[in-house]
């Protein structure tokens, strides 16, 4: 029989993996489910159902629905609160008083810090509020009402389209859906979005105005765009003069491993080489570096784009929180401080990812009912179940006390045409809780897969 062993708080550590025990019969054979006959599947379903009922009786209450930093991560950053006090000098290196008006586009030190985070010069950076999502929303909203650098406002056009690599980030899709923009799914490959499709749409359809990109450790697959993909994006020949690449470099420094890190080709330099200096807006924040909702966010782009953005900013705000910008600069000092912080964060997050991946391999490897991608960084694991199973798997997990990201969330309009992709977010629970959640998850995957196969027998 299957047994989910409940964790003990005292043993809730990286080593605390509490396995769903496989029956001797299944463990020895590890037979792919598709190879089983109806009698075998029915016997397995009975066994899995019994295990699932036992799991429901445990009263689990675990949340792995979003990529939230854990309390341990947040506690690690608490010293940032001590770098400024009532007796601190709150002036920038240039003498500007951060308590007062001025420097609407960010203090120079913060521009340099955020520029170093994504590998672009400080003069190409505007440091704003606490969330890059707000900057992305503003970019789309501004394009709707005022166009892009003098182009026709999108609200006056009959049709506006965005390309959406899938699976992708649900909040990106929510922004474009909010403004009534048509979203076109573009399949992701191991090198990034399918560039043949991207080039076909962008270069030949003037209603295509943008593409969402999470180019490094993508949400949710953890894929980093290849050099060739970056160069092809930079060399696009858009039919629309107001086409822009929305380059959400959210996980630029979010590595899981010190000795095995992905490298992303810097896109601004490639755009310059290709004669497209204005084609990219790049977004980044410290929301998952320091405090969620109390970090700093930045947008980087060409001088022409930044000047256009600033025109709206002078109407929108009298200035962002320069004291918070100064706090971050005094705490990290430079890019080396950021890297040191992220190394400590990786030590916290990595065991959770490894616990999940270990359980996925142990419980589902060889069964032919699922695939997943082991990431080198970022915040998520992308999991693909058998076609037509994702919603039911997520529902069964919820019924047993584990809340996951809604099935379909990684696709525009929440509609996964195959109903197979599920985003796993390991960061918030403790390693022991994450192991429990993963064990229950694999149990639900098996049960739903068996039921699906029985339907077709």
Would you state the CATH architecture of domain 9-73+340-456? Answer: Alpha-Beta Complex (3.90)
pLDDT at residue 67, rounded to an integer: 86
pLDDT for the residue numbered 84: 97
User: Where in the chain is CATH 3.40.640.10?
Assistant: 91-333
- Portion of the chain with pLDDT greater than 70, in percent: 93
Q: DSSP 3-state assignment of 164? A: strand
- How sure is the predictor about 158, in pLDDT bands with cuts at 50, 70 and 90? very high
> How confident is the model at residue 9, as a pLDDT?
34
Averaged over 139-160, what is the pLDDT? 98
pLDDT above 70: residue 23: no
Arithmetic mean of pLDDT, 266-272:
97
pLDDT digit string, tens, across residues 71-89: 999 999 999 999 999 999 9
**Res 11 pLDDT > 50:** no
Q: Is the pLDDT of residue 13 over 80?
A: no
Q: What does the DSSP 8-state code read for residue 88? A: S
Q: What local confidence, expressed as pLDDT, does residue 244 receive?
A: 98
Burial of 113 from C-beta contacts in 10 A (0-12 / 13-18 / 19+): buried
In this prediction the pTM is 0.92
Q: How many CB atoms lie within 10 A of CB 258?
A: 12
Per-residue pLDDT tens over the stretch 282-337: 999 999 999 999 999 999 999 999 999 999 999 999 999 999 999 999 999 999 99
Please provide residue 125's backbone torsions phi and psi, each rounded to the nearest 5 degrees.
-120, 140
- By C-alpha distance, which of 230, 249, 266, 220 is closest to 375? 220
Q: Cβ distance 229 to 213 under 8 Å?
A: no
Strand segments (E) across 221-279: 244-248
pLDDT score for 8 = 36
Q: Poorest-confidence range of 8-22, 300-314, 357-371, 399-413?
A: 8-22
Check pLDDT > 70 for residue 27.
Answer: no
Start and end residues for every CATH 3.90.1150.10 domain found in the chain: 9-73+340-456
Looking at every residue in the chain, the average pLDDT score rounds to: 92
Residue among 306, 364, 391, 259 nearest 115 (CA): 306
Which of the four pLDDT bands, split at 50, 70 and 90, describes residue 271? very high
pLDDT of 386 higher than 70: yes
Q: Quote the pLDDT of residue 211.
A: 98
Reduce the DSSP state of residue 381 to 3 states and report it: strand
Tell me the per-residue pLDDT of 162-208, one tens digit each, with 9 for 90 and over: 999 999 999 999 999 999 999 999 999 999 999 999 999 999 999 99
CATH of domain 91-333: 3.40.640.10
Indicate the DSSP class of residue 377.
Answer: B
């Amino acid at each position: 029989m299957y047994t989910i062993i409940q964790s003990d708080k005292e043993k809730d550590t990286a080593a605390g993996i509490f396995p769903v025990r496989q029956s001797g019969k299944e463990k020895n054979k590890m037979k792919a489910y598709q190879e089983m006959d109806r009698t075998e599947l029915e016997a397995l379903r009975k066994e899995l159902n019994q295990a699932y009922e036992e799991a429901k009786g445990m009263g689990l209450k675990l949340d792995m629905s979003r990529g939230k930093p854990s309390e341990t991560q947040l506690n690690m950053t608490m010293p940032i609160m001590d770098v400024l006090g009532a007796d601190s000098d709150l002036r920038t290196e240039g003498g500007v008083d951060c308590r007062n008006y001025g420097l609407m586009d960010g203090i120079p030190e913060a521009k340099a810090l955020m520029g170093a985070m994504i590998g672009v010069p400080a003069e190409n950076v505007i440091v704003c509020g606490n969330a890059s999502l707000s900057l992305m929303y503003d970019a789309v909203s501004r394009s709707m009402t005022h166009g892009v650098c003098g182009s026709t406002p999108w609200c006056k056009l009959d049709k506006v389209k965005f390309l959406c690599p899938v699976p992708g980030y649900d909040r990106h899709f929510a922004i474009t859906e909010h403004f009534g923009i048509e979203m076109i799914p573009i399949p992701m490959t191991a090198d990034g979005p399918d560039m043949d499709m991207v080039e076909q749409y962008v270069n030949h359809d003037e209603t295509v105005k943008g593409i969402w990109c999470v180019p490094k450790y993508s949400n949710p697959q953890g894929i980093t765009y290849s050099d060739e993909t970056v160069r092809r994006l930079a060399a696009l020949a858009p039919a629309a003069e107001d086409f822009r690449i929305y380059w959400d470099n959210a996980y630029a420094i979010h590595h899981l491993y010190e000795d095995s890190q992905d490298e992303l080709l810097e896109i601004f330099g490639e755009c310059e080489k290709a004669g497209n200096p204005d084609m990219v807006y790049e977004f980044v924040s410290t929301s998952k570096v320091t405090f969620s909702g109390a970090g700093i966010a930045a947008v980087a782009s060409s001088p022409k784009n930044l000047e256009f953005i600033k025109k709206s900013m002078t109407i929108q705000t009298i200035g962002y929180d320069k004291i918070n910008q100064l706090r971050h600069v005094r705490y990290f000092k430079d890019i080396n401080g950021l890297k040191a912080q992220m190394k400590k964060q990786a030590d916290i997050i990595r065991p959770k990812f490894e616990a999940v991946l270990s359980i996925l391999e142990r419980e589902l490897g060889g069964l032919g009912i699922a695939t997943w991608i082991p990431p080198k960084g970022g915040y998520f694991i992308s999991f693909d179940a058998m076609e037509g199973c994702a919603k039911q798997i997520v529902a069964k997990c919820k019924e047993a006390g584990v809340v996951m990201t809604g099935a379909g969330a990684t696709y525009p309009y929440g509609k996964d045409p195959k109903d197979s992709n599920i985003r796993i977010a390991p960061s918030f629970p403790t390693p022991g809780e994450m192991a429990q959640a993963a064990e229950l998850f694999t149990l639900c995957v098996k049960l739903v897969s068996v039921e699906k196969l029985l339907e077709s027998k």
